[in-house]
């Protein structure tokens, strides 16, 4: 039985702009045949064992000829494979999708099409230009600046100048002078707004604005390179830029927490414009095998100390297993390392007596010492650091530690991620992540100094939140993204 080929539009570049149908097919395909303009982030959606064939790569400077691509698609399908033919933008807009469709069907290969967001509209929109606007344009013409091999590129400038509305030129980075000359020669005013959008919707996106008379020179001095498109017409004077409102736009941020707190953190990051990848790197699970736990007797400690929300969760599981409930601890005071842990306790009807001003173990120990604590029981992860016990010992307080759960995730196959930031809320998350993923060039955003230390040890450049909370991690990232954007802008000017 033959396989089948799906012609899939990848959109302008950002994986978020690929259709769900396209992503779904891509994640199942046996083979993916892709063009030059398909971004690596999108290819990461393919199965790790899928055959990836780059037909945009040049041997010399020419991409693989169309006949050869047709041959590759037919061969893969005849081998019984589910093939995704992935094209930038929309497969039928200057994408040769129609030619491939006809060839495949004539060879008896089943074909399907998944439209994509064309860069002609989508990349322009990302660059701040709506291709129509009731005040400026009620039609859009999309023009290629490439001719079929063997013929020369000769647009009908008179017709284009006469049609009015918006003109969008694709593949025209090196033809801007010609476009301007052609349109001015055909009667358009030199002062007609014109803009060039480079890498619309992708990292490094830039929009250069000017007029028909100035745009070629402006683009040249700005060093605009492919992929870029030119927009001519009143809409090119608009600048519907949203990047300042979304400082994390263009950043890919990995959240390494599990199902319990990933959605809220991921939601906050996405609200500020980030593209979020959730890759759980801890696997919290109960382990009540510590001999310390079997020796535990309620009523022996003045304070019960919780250093994580998971700690609270597993404490109650353990109580239930013991056949106890909170009445066994009547009279004990309760300390939580930070607000998330406190919330978990309060959700179970407990009033938290102490949360330190700075949410980490060292400050928790300090706050307990200030209360002249004589004895405390800490319910924690097996992998917890010794900061709390060390600091408590220094203040002469007895701290008994009761490990209740393990965080560490076992190794698996190592995959690669394109990301700008990986967020870590514990050293165990750093270890779990590194065991499974490579994220070349990504920096680590850490919840506190101990986590940062682990991340540095494992090769990350780090930034540490002021407070140990997801809110504070988000704030640190926003602050940094804003200042880095400002520096970039300064450099560009
Ligand atoms: N089928 C594609 C177009 C292929 S032609 C589509 O529907 O978008 C390739 C041209 O598209 C490039 O030379 C450039 O002019 C334009 N293009 C593609 N991606 C772009 C992007 N992210 N930003 C600006 N222009 C882009």
pLDDT of amino acid 493 = 63
| CB distance 174 to ligand 1 below 6 Å | no
Each residue of 135-177: pLDDT tens digit?
999 999 999 998 777 788 889 999 999 998 999 999 988 999 9
Query: How many alpha carbons lie under 13 Å from residue 21 in its C-beta half-sphere?
Result: 10
Q: Is 300 left (phi over 0), alpha (psi -120 to 50) or beta?
A: alpha
Whole-angstrom Cα distance, residue 425 to residue 245?
27
Query: Ligand 1 centroid vs 198 CA: distance in angstroms?
Result: 9
Each residue of 234-245: pLDDT tens digit?
999 999 988 889
Asked if 252-282+411-489 and 284-408 have one fold, the answer is yes
Could you tell me the fold of the domain covering 252-282+411-489?
Rossmann fold (3.40.50)
Q: Which residues 6+ apart lie within 8 Å of 204 measured at CB?
A: 198
The neighbouring-strand residues paired with 276 are 253
Each residue of 253-280: pLDDT tens digit?
999 987 777 889 999 999 999 999 999 9
> Per-residue pLDDT averaged across 198-203, rounded?
91
Contact 430, 453 (CB under 8 A): no
pTM above 0.85, yes or no: no
pLDDT at 250 over 90: no
Contact 198, 224 (CB under 8 A): yes
Each residue of 16-49: pLDDT tens digit?
899 999 999 999 999 999 998 898 889 999 999 9
Looking at domain 284-408, its CATH class is: alpha beta
| CB distance 227 to ligand 1 below 6 Å | yes
Ligand 1: atom nearest CA of 87 is: 1
Atom 13 in ligand 1: which residue has the minimum CA distance?
A: 171
What stretches of 107-243 adopt beta strand conformation (E)? Answer: 111-114, 140-144, 166-170, 193-198, 206-211, 228-232
Whole-angstrom Cα distance, residue 219 to residue 227?
13
Answer yes or no: 333 catalytic.
Answer: no
Query: Ligand 1 centroid vs 207 CA: distance in angstroms?
Result: 14
Ligand 1: atom nearest CA of 169 is: 15
Answer yes or no: 57 catalytic.
Answer: yes
SS3 content of the chain, % helix, strand, coil (to 5): 35, 25, 40
Nearest residue to 38 (alpha-carbon basis) of 51, 55, 21: 55
DSSP class of 391:
H
Per-domain residue ranges for the chain? 5-117, 121-241, 252-282+411-489, 284-408
Query: Ligand 1 centroid vs 122 CA: distance in angstroms?
Result: 9
pLDDT at 60 over 60: no
Torsions phi, psi of 408, nearest 5?
Answer: -60, 135
Please give the share of the chain, as a percent, with pLDDT higher than 70: 98
Pocket test for ligand 1, best of 101, 118, 147, 170 (most atoms within 8 A of CB): 170
Please give the share of the chain, as a percent, with pLDDT higher than 90: 75
Whole-angstrom Cα distance, residue 256 to residue 65?
43
Query: Ligand 1 centroid vs 71 CA: distance in angstroms?
Result: 24
Looking at domain 5-117, its CATH class is: alpha beta
- Which residue in the list 14, 35, 360, 420 is annotated as catalytic? 35
pLDDT band at 301 (very low <50, low <70, confident <90, very high): very high
Nearest residue to 381 (alpha-carbon basis) of 472, 282, 462: 282
| CB distance 310 to ligand 1 below 6 Å | no
| CB distance 248 to ligand 1 below 6 Å | no
Each residue of 422-459: pLDDT tens digit?
999 989 999 999 999 999 999 999 998 889 999 999 99
Specify the length of the chain in residues: 493
Nearest residue to 450 (alpha-carbon basis) of 435, 441, 438, 462: 462
| CB distance 118 to ligand 1 below 6 Å | yes
Looking at domain 121-241, its CATH class is: alpha beta
> Per-residue pLDDT averaged across 186-211, rounded?
95
């Amino acid at each position: 039985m033959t396989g089948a080929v799906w012609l899939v539009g990848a959109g302008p570049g950002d994986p978020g702009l690929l259709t769900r149908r396209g992503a779904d097919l891509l994640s199942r395909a046996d083979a993916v045949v892709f063009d030059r303009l398909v971004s690596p982030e999108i290819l990461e959606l393919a199965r790790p064992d899928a055959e990836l064939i780059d037909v945009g790569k040049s041997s010399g400077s020419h991409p693989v000829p169309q006949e050869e691509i047709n041959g590759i698609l037919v061969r893969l399908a005849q081998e019984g494979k589910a093939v995704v033919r992935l094209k930038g933008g929309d497969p039928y807009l200057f994408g040769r999708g129609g030619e491939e469709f006809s060839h495949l069907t004539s060879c008896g290969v089943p074909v399907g099409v998944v439209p994509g967001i064309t860069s002609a509209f989508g990349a322009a929109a990302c660059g701040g230009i709506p291709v129509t606007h009731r005040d400026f344009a009620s039609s859009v013409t999309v023009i290629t600046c490439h001719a079929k091999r063997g013929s020369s590129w000769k647009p009908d400038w008179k017709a284009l100048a006469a049609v009015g509305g918006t003109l969008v030129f694709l593949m025209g980075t090196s033809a801007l002078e010609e476009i301007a000359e052609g349109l001015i020669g055909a009667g358009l005013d030199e002062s007609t707004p014109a803009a060039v959008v480079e890498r619309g919707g992708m990292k490094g996106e830039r929009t250069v604005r000017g007029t028909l008379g100035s745009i070629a020179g402006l683009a040249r001095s700005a060093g605009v390179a492919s992929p870029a498109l030119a927009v001519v017409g009143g809409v090119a004077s608009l600048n519907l830029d949203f990047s300042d409102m979304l400082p994390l736009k263009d950043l890919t941020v990995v959240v390494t927490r599990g199902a319990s707190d990933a959605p809220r953190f991921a939601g906050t990051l996405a609200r500020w414009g980030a593209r979020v990848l959730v890759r759980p790197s801890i696997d919290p699970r109960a382990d009540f095998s510590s001999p310390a736990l079997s020796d535990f007797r309620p009523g022996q400690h003045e304070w019960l100390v919780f250093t994580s929300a998971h700690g609270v969760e597993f404490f109650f599981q353990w109580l239930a297993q013991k056949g106890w409930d909170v009445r066994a601890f009547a009279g004990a005071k309760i300390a939580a390392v930070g607000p998330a842990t406190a919330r978990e306790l309060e959700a179970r009807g407990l009033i938290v007596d102490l949360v330190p001003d700075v949410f980490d173990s060292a400050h928790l120990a300090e706050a307990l010492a200030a209360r002249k604590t004589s004895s405390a029981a800490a319910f924690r992860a097996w992998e917890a650091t010794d900061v709390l016990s060390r600091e408590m010992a220094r203040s002469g307080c007895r701290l008994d530690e009761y490990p209740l759960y393990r965080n560490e995730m076992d190794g698996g196959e190592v995959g690669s991620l394109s990301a700008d930031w990986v967020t870590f809320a514990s050293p165990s998350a750093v270890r779990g992540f590194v065991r499974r993923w490579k994220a070349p060039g990504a920096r680590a955003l850490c919840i506190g100094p101990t986590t940062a230390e682990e991340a540095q040890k494992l090769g990350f450049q780090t930034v540490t939140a002021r407070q140990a909370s997801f809110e504070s991690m988000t704030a640190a990232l926003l602050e940094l993204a804003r200042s880095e954007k400002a520096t970039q802008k300064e450099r560009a000017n």
